[in-house]
C-alpha cells in the first residue's frame, strides 16, 4: 500500500511544481514529474508478488506471470509523453527568444 501512496505524493509534488513555479522550464519539469508518477502507478497495477515476466516457455511449468497489459500501456504513454515534452520545450524556447525571459509573470500579453 505504501508504494501507491508514494506514487500519489509524487503526483502531488509535480502538481505543486506546476502551480507554484514561475520559470517555464520548471513548469515543464513539474509536468514531467506528474507524468512519471502516473507511469509508476500503472506499472504497479500490473505487478503480482513473485510474478515473472510474461513469456511463454516450452517447459510447461505453471508460473505466475505479471500482467503485461499495463506495461504495454506505460510504453505507449511514455512515447506520448515524449511528444508532449518536446512540444512544450520547443514552445518554451520560442517564448524565450521573443520575450528574453523564462519568467511567466513577464509573459503576460493575454489576460485569460
| Binding-site ranges for other proteins (CB under 8 A) | 11, 15, 18, 24, 27, 31, 34-35, 38, 41-42, 45, 69-70, 73, 76-77, 80, 83-84, 87-88, 91-92, 94-95, 98-99, 107-110, 112
Q: How far apart are CA 45 and CA 66, in angstroms?
A: 10
What cell numbers appear for 73 in the block? Answer: 500501456
Residue placing its CB nearer to other proteins in the complex, 63 or 91: 91
What cell numbers appear for 12 in the block? Answer: 502531488
Residue placing its CB nearer to other proteins in the complex, 19 or 55: 19
Residue placing its CB nearer to other proteins in the complex, 8 or 63: 8
Q: How far is the CB of 97 from other proteins (least distance, A)?
A: 9
Q: How far is the CB of 21 from other proteins (least distance, A)?
A: 11
Residue placing its CB nearer to other proteins in the complex, 62 or 109: 109
Helix 68-99 / helix 24-45 crossing angle, nearest 10 deg: 180
Q: How far is the CB of 24 from other proteins (least distance, A)?
A: 7
Q: How far apart are CA 58 and CA 79, in angstroms?
A: 33
Concatenate the DSSP letters of all residues of 51-101 into one string: -B-----TT---PPBPPHHHHHHHHHHHHHHHHHHHHHHHHHHHHHHHHS-
Amino acid at each position: 500500500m505504501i508504494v501507491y501512496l508514494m506514487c500519489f505524493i509524487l503526483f502531488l509534488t509535480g502538481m505543486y511544481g506546476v502551480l507554484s513555479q514561475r520559470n517555464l522550464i520548471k513548469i515543464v519539469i513539474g509536468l514531467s514529474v506528474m507524468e512519471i508518477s502516473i507511469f509508476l502507478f500503472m506499472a504497479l497495477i500490473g505487478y503480482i508478488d513473485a510474478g515473472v515476466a510474461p513469456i511463454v516457455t516450452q517447459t510447461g511449468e505453471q508460473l505466475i506471470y505479471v500482467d503485461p497489459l499495463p506495461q504495454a500501456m506505460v510504453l505507449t504513454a511514455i512515447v506520448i509523453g515524449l511528444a508532449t515534452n518536446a512540444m512544450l520545450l520547443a514552445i518554451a524556447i520560442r517564448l524565450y527568444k521573443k520575450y528574453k525571459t523564462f519568467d511567466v509573470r513577464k509573459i503576460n500579453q493575454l489576460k485569460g
